[in-house]
């Protein structure tokens, strides 16, 4: 008589990371690669000469403080969700979203100040240094827009009571992406300070 072997499925065979989180990290890695390539090209082009040096307008320092503050409010919203404090989650998400919009406004103001001191994106008066600055900050701004859309989606889920201590995956992903965008701006800010 044949004996049947019962094979127990170990918990270790379950995926170590949520599939959606894994996809998010792949997306983040691809963004890192794009910005690494662009900042490398910036350094190479600067070394070739004919480079316009300029000081960053003070508004970019303000925008840096704003985006750092948005990371704090995002983290606070996450801590509130862990404690099932839905009102706190809503407030944290609303503040983070508003700070995200404010960051974009200050970036636009910074661009206007750059134009006023003769730093242009294109045209006869443009220089590669200005063009690089607009592309780097503009591409980051486009990712901030996508981050704000993500924040609004999670905020909507919070108002429908879908975000709480037993359902944190979407909020964790949103927080990870937002903190990444904040860290990316800090990298760009100090890079541009160093190479301007």
Chain segment 31-85, per-residue pLDDT in tens? 999 999 999 999 999 888 888 888 899 999 999 999 999 999 999 999 999 999 9
Pure H helices in the chain? 19-47, 59-82, 86-116, 128-159, 169-195
State yes or no: pLDDT of 10 exceeds 70. no
* Token pair recorded at residue 28: 């983040």
Q: 66 with 100: CB under 8 angstroms?
A: no
Give the pLDDT confidence score for residue 8 in this predicted structure.
47
* DSSP states along 160-177: TT--BTTB-HHHHHHHHH
Q: What are phi and psi of 18, to 5 degrees?
A: -55, 135
Give the pLDDT confidence score for residue 14 in this predicted structure.
57
Mean pLDDT of 91-115: 97
* Token pair recorded at residue 175: 């927080």
**5 vs 54: CA distance, rounded Å:** 74
135-162 pLDDT, tens per residue?
999 999 999 999 999 999 999 999 998 9
User: Does 5 or 109 have the greater pLDDT score?
Assistant: 109
178, 171, 143: which is closest to 71 by C-alpha? 178
pLDDT band for position 121 (50/70/90)? confident
Is the domain spanning 60-195 CATH 1.20.120.80? The answer is yes
Mean pLDDT of 170-180: 96
State yes or no: pLDDT of 195 exceeds 90. no
Residues whose CB falls within 8 Å of the CB of residue 97, separated by 6 or more in sequence, listed in order: 148, 151, 152, 155
């Amino acid at each position: 008589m044949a004996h049947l072997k019962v094979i127990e499925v170990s918990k270790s065979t379950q995926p170590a990371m949520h599939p959606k989180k894994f996809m998010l990290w792949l997306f983040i890695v691809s963004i890192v690669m794009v910005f690494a390539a662009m900042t490398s090209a910036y350094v190479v082009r600067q070394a070739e000469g004919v480079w316009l040096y300029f000081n960053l307008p003070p508004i970019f320092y303000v925008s840096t403080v704003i985006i750092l503050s948005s990371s704090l409010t995002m983290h606070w919203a996450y801590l509130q969700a862990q404690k099932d404090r839905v009102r706190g989650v809503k407030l944290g998400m609303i503040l983070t979203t508003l700070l995200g919009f404010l960051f974009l406004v200050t970036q636009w103001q910074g661009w206007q100040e750059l134009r006023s001191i003769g730093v242009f994106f294109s045209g006869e008066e443009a220089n590669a240094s200005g063009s690089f600055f607009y592309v780097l900050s503009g591409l980051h701004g486009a990712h901030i827009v996508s981050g704000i859309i993500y924040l609004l989606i999670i905020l909507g889920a919070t108002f429908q009571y879908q975000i709480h201590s037993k359902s944190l995956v979407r909020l964790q992903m949103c927080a990870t992406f937002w903190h990444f965008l904040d860290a990316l701006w800090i990298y760009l800010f100090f890079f541009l300070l160093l190479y301007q």
